[in-house]
Structure 1
Amino acid sequence: MAAEDQPNPMEEFLRQFGIQPGPDGTFDLGQLMGPLQQAMQQFSRQMSAAGAGSGDGLNWRFVKDIARKVTAAAGPDPSPSASDAVAIRDTVGLADLWLDQHTAFDRTNAPAATWSRAEWVEGTIATWEQLAGSVSTSLAGAVGSLLQRAEPEAAPMMAMMEPMMKMAATGMLSAQVGQGIGQLATDVVSGSDLGFPLTAKPVTALLPTNIAHFAEGLDTPIADVRLYLALREAARQRLFANVAWLGPQMLALIEHYARHITIDASAFEEAMEAQMQGGLTPERMEEFGQQMAGRLFQPTLTSEQVEILGRLETLVANVEGWVDDVVAQTTATLMPRADALLETVRRRRASAGPSETALKTLLNLELRPRRVRDAANVWAAVRSAKGVEGRDAVWAHPDLVPTGADLDDPLGFAEHGHVGGSAAPEMDDLDAMLARLIEQERGSDGDAPREDGEG
């Protein structure tokens, strides 16, 4: 098809609202004003009905609605029964009792929670809003770039349509973020299964539906699987509750990473043109948000994002490696199938499964803490040399926690601390920024913490 015979996206979009070009194929801007204003009012009413906001910010009501639809489409998601709640409560109580002997950290005293997938979405949505909200800044830049590329004669019309285009773009991105959160909800077995905290306050939450899926094909009673996963979740919650700097620093790293996400201009323009040809409705934005999942973000990372990702992967490896060591010691004489369950967890962690796909959809984040085994060896070496108290005391300050280089030398770290000495390196600009974010999160004016990434 010759270029002149191809449909014009703007003309196709305007036709959806009954706006036709004149005999010469051009539009009279004066005559366009009334129909175009009516079209924008109609679209605004549709978006209001869907809960969409205006401006550049993501629409979190729409995000949550899409996430709930994704969980519903993944299969039955019944509200946990009273017997489920009792089983989880008793299991978490037993897990805490066992853990008391194998960690220096006190239990959180937070109630055990039994969540459906939909309840996981509800329970974590505020944190996702914090982490992903800054992506809208990149989106606003993409809208502006698209408007600037319009033909000069179309500039007045594009300026009139800018508010509607921004609403459509944020609606599409909101649908993509909702898709990612919904995918995570179908895969995680507990509240902090991803290795970082997703609730404002400690809560030991387990998802019976996903635990049952995790247990499929395992030669282990479901009660043992549930207890093993409860031990891991309760251990993580103790760590996050007792180490005040850890959760805020992990979330600050993710938030700063997300702030520098770049929208793929060609993919974005393709999606906008397709929406314009088909009419702008919440349903169309949901459809394109799902189709664009994994394509909307620029795949290339900045050097700063690469550095942040290295730090984050090291922190997650340290968290999960510490959990591996604590739970291995806890179950050594009490749960014969624990080693097999640990291998299942490790295989699940190593595979590019639904959680990894969902994080890429959400934040273009390929979080692969490859060195969890190395971190577990470091924590085991420290425990062997200095006992449980000595191992857990390493979490007292971010400068004491193993770096990527330390994971290469477990015995050296156990004996001497950081490779090259224990003095804290000079704080760089990124560290200073993260420290400010953490202080804001904690509402304190204390000493600024830092954490070194892989070397």
Structure 2
Amino acid sequence: MADDDRSPEEEFQELMRQLFGGEAGGLDPEQLERLTGLGIDPAMMQTVMQHLQGAFAGADGGISWDLAQRQALHIANQDGLGVTDGQRSDLDQAFSLATLWLSEATSISELAQPPKTLTRGGWVEATLPVWQELAEPVATSIADALTSALRDQAPEEMQGLVQGAGRLMRTVGGSLFATQLGQVVGRLSKEVVSGGDVGIPILPAGEAAILPQNFADFGRDLEIPEDQLALYIATRELAHARLFRHAKWLRLHVISQVTDFARGIHVDTSALEDLASRFDPSEPEELRKALESGALLPQRSEAQTTALTRLENLLASIEGWVDVVTAEATSRLPSAERIAEAVRRRRAVGGPAEQALGSLVGLELRPRRMREAAAMWRAVTDAVGVAARDALWDYPDLMPTSEDIDDPAALVARLEARARGEEPVRDEFDDALAALLAGEDGGPADPEAGDGGGPAEPDDAAEPDDAPEGPRPV
């Protein structure tokens, strides 16, 4: 059959076959004009095809994170401002003095490399790999759900074509999410003041940085001398970076808890199917709004709620320690308490971009129990001193628990007993472990077990109860 003899329905099906069959580059614009018989606007269809062709050209079944980076950098670099020599000099001086003050407030050593002043674009490039790692489980879930929903919405006669378009549909969904993430991260680059401003380690381990553009915006309405503000922010940023450099396990611990939470997210398919039923590819704004508002993410499961509680306690412990160390290091600053309260309020509320990020990945990275955790760290410092307090970060097993945050008295008592050289009080866990070890060493796990009631031979006897024990972690 000649091309001119095809019906509009056949023309449309041919276009879809070319697109999904990998022949996107061979589409003839004149074919689009023949779709008017179906009531389809050729100009709109041309736009849709261009978007789909672009997605198909780069489709490998994965998500194009380059889109996220380009979108974030476009927003971050809109003002075209960089870091002036004066800003860099002022912040370098603040970092130098903050380093000296921190050496008096913590036993954790200095950073191996000097802190930086970053532009907004530089912050995007330095942190986007972490945002990608945190968001990828949700992006994959949305892309897979979009593929399924669109397949379910397709008419029966199109099922053969749609089944062959799974990779493309998944790429389109992932690309939309990546673009939206880029917009959120780009806007976030205009809010954050320092590398540790969002509570999680988004910069490489051991790196500290301040964004001068945002630092100026943060202090504009506080009516606090800029040199004092710079000293406080520099001290806080260095404390955060020192902690993650010292506790080498901590970065992976935080990131893995966030990604474990994100992997438990499954898109609300009913909401997505409803959206897909009225989705206009030429007007993707509704899908963008649904992604950013969190409308596609269902209520948290019980397992996710438990994981979120663990993460909040961990973030609160980190922020609480940073808060206490910063307060002690900046005690010479007349405005230190006012700045600290402004920082706490800002962290508790979060900015618009941070709220959008929470909706996008279903997680708000805010330390809801920071004040309680800070009170715990102050109690520990008063009881056993700086060195013993900071030693709790040496290993994960030594970290305070949520119960310690609620009531630090038991933690303080254990630390004080250890400082006096006393053995910790045995609990049920110690007794169970001792019984298990005794069984593994050949000792009788059941006191009534035996060969007839006679006394045990010396070689078969269990170790004496008063055998010395190793130190038990606090």
Change (3 A) 1:53 1:266: farther
Matched with 2:148 is: 145
Change (3 A) 1:149 1:316: same
Q: Structure 2: how far apart are the matches of 1:375 and 1:243?
A: 18
1:133 Cα deviation (Å)? 2.0
Tell whether 2:339 aligns with 1:336: no
Tell whether 2:85 aligns with 1:101: no
Matched with 2:168 is: 164
1:39 Cα deviation (Å)? 7.7
- The structure whose RCO (Cα within 8 Å, separation 6+) is larger is 1
Q: Structure 2: how far apart are the matches of 1:164 and 1:51?
A: 6
Task: Percent identity, please.
Answer: 33
Matched with 1:415 is: 413
Matched with 2:322 is: 323
Change (3 A) 1:412 1:31: closer
SS, match of residue 405 in structure 1 = helix
Give 2:390's match in structure 1, choosing from 375, 389, 392: 392
1:399 Cα deviation (Å)? 2.3
Matched with 2:127 is: 124
Matched with 1:79 is: 82
SS, match of residue 134 in structure 1 = helix
Structure 2 unaligned segments of length 5 or more: list them. 28-47, 416-423, 433-474
Q: Structure 1: how far apart are the matches of 2:276 and 2:232?
A: 47
Mean Cα deviation higher: 240-249 or 54-63: 54-63
SS, match of residue 289 in structure 1 = helix
Mean Cα deviation higher: 33-42 or 204-213: 33-42
Change (3 A) 1:348 1:36: closer
SS, match of residue 64 in structure 1 = helix
Mean Cα deviation higher: 268-277 or 292-301: 268-277
Q: Structure 2: how far apart are the matches of 1:292 and 1:232?
A: 34
Give 2:17's match in structure 1, choosing from 30, 33, 36: 33
Q: Structure 2: how far apart are the matches of 1:230 and 1:422?
A: 45
Change (3 A) 1:265 1:209: same
SS, match of residue 125 in structure 1 = helix
1:398 Cα deviation (Å)? 1.7
Contact kept in structure 1, 2:372 and 2:405, CA below 8 Å: yes
1:28 Cα deviation (Å)? 7.9
SS, match of residue 209 in structure 2 = strand
Tell whether 2:68 aligns with 1:63: yes
SS, match of residue 156 in structure 1 = helix
Matched with 2:365 is: 367
Contact kept in structure 1, 2:139 and 2:178, CA below 8 Å: no
1:71 Cα deviation (Å)? 3.0
1:38-53 maps to which residues of 2 (within 5 A)? Answer: 40-41=24-25, 53=58
Matched with 1:310 is: 309
Q: Structure 2: how far apart are the matches of 1:162 and 1:118?
A: 35
Contact kept in structure 1, 2:153 and 2:276, CA below 8 Å: no
Give 2:257's match in structure 1, choosing from 240, 249, 253: 253
Q: Structure 2: how far apart are the matches of 1:379 and 1:358?
A: 31
SS, match of residue 388 in structure 2 = helix
1:405 Cα deviation (Å)? 1.5
Give 1:196's match in structure 2, choosing from 200, 207, 225: 200
Q: Structure 2: how far apart are the matches of 1:108 and 1:422?
A: 41
1:213-258 deviations in Å (ceiling 9; x for gaps): 1112112111211111111010011100001111110001111112
1:351-378 deviations in Å (ceiling 9; x for gaps): 2533541331441102332211111111
Matched with 1:8 is: none
Contact kept in structure 1, 2:137 and 2:259, CA below 8 Å: yes
Matched with 1:292 is: 291
Change (3 A) 1:229 1:198: same
TM score, norm. by length of structure 1: 0.78
Change (3 A) 1:98 1:32: closer
Q: Structure 2: how far apart are the matches of 1:308 and 1:144?
A: 28
Larger Rg: 2
Q: Structure 1: how far apart are the matches of 2:143 and 2:156?
A: 21
1:48 Cα deviation (Å)? 8.1
Matched with 2:378 is: 380
Contact kept in structure 2, 1:137 and 1:259, CA below 8 Å: no
Mean Cα deviation higher: 205-214 or 123-132: 123-132
Matched with 1:447 is: none
Contact kept in structure 1, 2:120 and 2:189, CA below 8 Å: yes
Amino acid at match of 1:33: R
1:393 Cα deviation (Å)? 0.9
Q: Structure 2: how far apart are the matches of 1:185 and 1:419?
A: 50
Contact kept in structure 1, 2:118 and 2:210, CA below 8 Å: yes
Matched with 2:159 is: 155
1:2-22 deviations in Å (ceiling 9; x for gaps): xxxxxxxxxxxxxxxxx9994
Say how many residue pairs are matched.
Answer: 400
SS, match of residue 293 in structure 1 = helix
Q: Structure 2: how far apart are the matches of 1:51 and 1:148?
A: 21
